[in-house]
Amino acid sequence: MFHPTQCDQLFLNLLCFGGSKGAEWRAKAEKIELELQQCYKSQAQLSEQLVVEVAEARSSKVLVLEKEAVIADLHKEVTQAREDCSQLMDTLKQKSKSLDLLLSENHILRAQLEEVAQKAKSAEAENKILIDRWMLQKMKDAERLNEANIIYEDMMDQLKAGSIEHLARVQADGVVRQFEAGAENFAETNIPVSCKHKIHSHEGGCGSIMFQCKSNKLISGGQDRTIKIWDTNTGMLDHTLYGCDGSVLDLTVSHDNKFIVAASSSNNLYVWDVGTGRICHTLKGHSDKVCAVDISKVSCFLVVSAAYDRTIKVWNLQKGYCINTIISHSNCNALCFSMDGQTICSGHSDGNLRLWNVQSGRLLSEVAAHSNAITSICLSKSSNIVLTSGRDNLHNLFDLRSLEVCGSLRANGNRMASNWSRSCISADEKYVAAGSSDGSVYIWSRSKNETVSTLREDTAPILSCSWSGLGKPLASASKNGTVCIWT
């Protein structure tokens, strides 16, 4: 390529030569000038391309710097991830060791479990053999007991026939009461005025008490799952019966004082032989807590119970199972046998008093006794009067023959403490006693139809009252487990 000044000088020299050579050189000069212009254009294009490439290089440099920063951050994250991975590997090793240890312990426990299961199977087989032997012995004992009962009944018939001149007759509601020779007649009941003994009977509360037949021995059942027998003369504990799996909600005793039956929150009934202190029956069949129980005054082997599964069941203790089930549309809170053992009197949550036939389970009669739930039913000694108490705080007396109300008692301040608050009627049927939620025991006179005494020894709600069949004393049990003997 020629510099512009050089080209111009060359052109002048060519002109000097003149002639034909000048035209040739001129043509060459024009050609060279054309090439020169193309060179200028190429130079301009290259300059522009250079500027663009420089700009692109700068932007690429900035992008490279940003990528380097990102790479540095990624290197840090990779380093941190490697450290975390290392920690996790250490943790995984520890967990693996722990898992291996647990697996070895699990194998040992499985072996122990298999050994225990084998022992349990052996014990179950042995237990079955023992039960079979026990049932056989029980059947033999029942046969001997039946024979003894027959001999006893024969002796009692002979005693009655030989000593009929010693029998006393007392007229009450048109019924003649007869008492066996040597038995204490129903003495004139005195109104209790003071607490003779204050006994802490059961931990957690005492909800059920009753006297043994023709005795001043008191039976109590409570939240501590025990049955206790007390001497009310001394206030001392005679016996404690164990084996109940739930709280004792109600109890009853046979007329010969040989058996005690308890209704429990464990859905079962428990029958103790008082002589041995051992459970001879566990009656299962209810699907909810059993809240009421009674034993027949005629046969010691006939028991009736009620539970919150809306059923009333009749049990035969000789056979050890239920012989009849009565279904009611309302839960039964309290019940009792009639004196002849043919009728069941039941009080329900709907406030109705119902009478049922024991054999057929048929409803014989029904009366709306209270405006609220019935909490207690107590049959008089003459069996002609039944006392009902309700959450409406009324205590009604019904003539059992006609189901007509022959008395209605209430008092300001007297409030039933629970759905199973038990009231009672005295042996001579002159007085009614009932506990209250304020810790008081109210006593009414039937003849005056008014309260004649209010007893109070504690502030805990009174859950149950029971009058001795001998006329005295009166006993009360409270929610804090205190039993008071009133004379």
d(CA 98, CA 90): 12
DSSP code per residue over 404-458 = EEEEEE--TT----STT-B-EE-TTSSEEEEE-TTSEEEEEETTTTEEEEEEES-
Q: Which domain covers residue 218, as residue numbers?
A: 191-486
Please write the tens of the pLDDT for every residue from 212-226. 998 999 999 999 999
C-alpha separations of 133 from 122, 136, 142, 224, 316 in Å: 17, 5, 14, 32, 21
341 and 195 in a single domain? The answer is yes
Residue 300's pLDDT is what?
87
If we measure between CA atoms, which residue out of 338, 424, 410 comes closest to residue 377?
Answer: 424
Answer whether residue 211 shows pLDDT above 50.
Answer: yes
- Is there a domain that residue 204 lies in? yes
* Chain centre to alpha carbon of residue 173: 45
Residue 184's pLDDT is what?
41
**15 SS3 class:** helix
- Is there a domain that residue 237 lies in? yes
Please write the tens of the pLDDT for every residue from 136-145. 887 778 777 7
Please write the tens of the pLDDT for every residue from 85-119. 999 999 999 999 999 999 999 999 999 999 999 99
Please write the tens of the pLDDT for every residue from 173-193. 333 343 333 334 455 788 999
In this prediction, residues 341-352 reach a mean pLDDT of 96
Residue 287's pLDDT is what?
95
d(CA 242, CA 257): 17
Query: Is it true that the peptide bond before 473 is cis, omega within 30 degrees of 0?
Result: yes
Q: Which helix (H) or strand (E) holds 393?
A: none
Please write the tens of the pLDDT for every residue from 287-339. 999 999 999 999 889 999 999 999 999 999 988 889 999 999 899 999 999 99
Answer whether residue 5 shows pLDDT above 70.
Answer: no
105 and 236 in a single domain? The answer is no
In this prediction, residues 396-419 reach a mean pLDDT of 93
DSSP-assigned letter for residue 134: H
Answer whether residue 23 shows pLDDT above 80.
Answer: yes
291 and 350 in a single domain? The answer is yes
If we measure between CA atoms, which residue out of 466, 485, 481, 397 comes closest to residue 252?
Answer: 466
In this prediction, residues 414-437 reach a mean pLDDT of 94
Question: Beta partners for 431?
Answer: 445
Residue 180's pLDDT is what?
35
- Is there a domain that residue 24 lies in? no
Residue 17's pLDDT is what?
52
Least confident of 41-50, 76-85, 217-226, 454-463: 41-50
- Is there a domain that residue 231 lies in? yes
Domain boundary among 162, 177, 210: 162
Answer whether residue 448 shows pLDDT above 80.
Answer: yes
Residue 26's pLDDT is what?
85
- Is there a domain that residue 46 lies in? no
Answer whether residue 147 shows pLDDT above 80.
Answer: no
DSSP code per residue over 29-85 = HHHHHHHHHHHHHHHHHHHHHHHHHHHHHHHHHHHHHHHHHHHHHHHHHHHHHHHHH
Rounded to the nearest integer, the mean pLDDT of the chain is 88
144 and 195 in a single domain? The answer is no
318 and 202 in a single domain? The answer is yes
Task: Note whether 447 and 171 are within 8 A (CB).
Answer: no
- Is there a domain that residue 65 lies in? no
d(CA 40, CA 2): 12
- Under 8 Å CB-to-CB from 196, ≥6 apart: which residues? 232, 235, 473, 485, 486, 487
d(CA 131, CA 116): 22
pTM of the model: 0.63
Q: Confidence band (pLDDT; 50, 70, 90) for 35?
A: confident
**27 SS3 class:** helix
Domain boundary among 141, 162, 183: 162
Residue 6's pLDDT is what?
58
205 and 155 in a single domain? The answer is no
119 and 230 in a single domain? The answer is no
Residue 71, amino acid? I
- Take residue 16 and report the two structure tokens written for it: 């000097």
Residue 1's pLDDT is what?
47
Answer whether residue 18 shows pLDDT above 60.
Answer: no
